[in-house]
Amino acid sequence: MSELHCVTGALGFSGGHIARHLLESGHDVRTLTGSLGRAHAFGNSIDIRPMDFDNPAELRASLNGVRVLYNTYWVRFSKAGFSQADAVRNTRVLFAAARDAGVERIVHVSITNPSAKSPYEYFRGKAALESALVEIGLPHTILRPAVLFGGTDVLVSNIAWLLRTFPVFGIIGDGEYGLRPIHVDDLAALAVRCGADRGTAVVDAVGPETFRYREFVRAIAAAVGRPARLVHLPRSVGLACAAGLGWALRDVLLTAEEYDALADNLLVTDSPSTGTTAFSAWLREHGAALGRRYTSEVARHKNRSLSYAEL
């Protein structure tokens, strides 16, 4: 029987994949979005509603009749006029609206290794939202991905662009820090399966392969046919280079907190794989098309407060 499910950010990256899987499963799909005019490929197949956190009554009305809410809303980094603390407050409003509207279940996208004691605002904020979801009292699944690839992801595509464009690639530190990528379609399929569950769970959403960052870059370089000359840089020099290149591209390539969290191995876990797509196999199939142009995250999401998962 068809049910009404709601996805935040279905016009974006991971939210769009979740919405597609829900449609293929025969469900009616609604999305809450801060980008009402954004181009998308869904036509009239999904119901699009505004995501206005200053209007909880409207949010609650948009969630009436929804059985499951899939939440991908977040911000990658704080910026002038909007912070991760704002995203935490907004998400609390969303969770309360879902409870008051009678939503039966929430599937929430978090991050690997969140902690209220983390030195990093991103991971503290994600931990705060996991606690807020428990406090709301609705049955839920928390998904904890590290790095997403596939589709229109920015990270892998722009690493490939840098490798195609420059004769050297800077690695901050020794590059031995780890990451555990999952294909965005695997994450979406997992989210939809969890939407059908009845209990409460926390699941590390990770793929079958673990990489050291240096290996990750070398694999991308081989796939695009640009053998990488890796240059290891001190933290201060590497971050300055990233900032300078970001200024030239009018984008944010890497923040200090993002590097430090990566170097602290917060994007890796030894949990069993919940995705089936191997990054190495995917690269062999898609490498020739990767990095043909640079994709600016700032330009894509100008004046929007979208999550890293929606890139």
The per-residue pLDDT for 1 is 60
Residues 197-247: pLDDT tens digits? 989 999 999 999 999 999 999 999 999 998 879 999 999 999 999 999 999
The one-digit pLDDT tens for each residue of the chain (311 residues) are 679 999 999 888 899 999 999 999 999 999 998 877 777 788 889 999 999 999 999 999 999 999 999 999 998 887 777 889 999 999 999 999 999 999 999 999 999 999 999 999 999 999 999 999 999 999 999 999 999 999 878 899 999 999 999 999 999 999 999 999 999 999 999 999 999 998 999 999 999 999 999 999 999 999 999 887 999 999 999 999 999 999 999 999 999 999 999 999 999 999 999 999 999 999 999 999 999 999 887 776 554 444 333 43
**pLDDT above 70 as % of the chain:** 95
pTM of the model: 0.93
The conformation of residue 79, written as its DSSP 8-state character, comes to B
Which domains are delineated in the chain?
4-148+183-205 (3.40.50.720), 150-179+209-295 (3.90.25)
Secondary structure E strands in the chain: 4-8, 28-33, 46-50, 68-71, 105-109, 140-145, 147-149, 169-172, 178-179, 181-183, 201-205, 211-212, 230-233
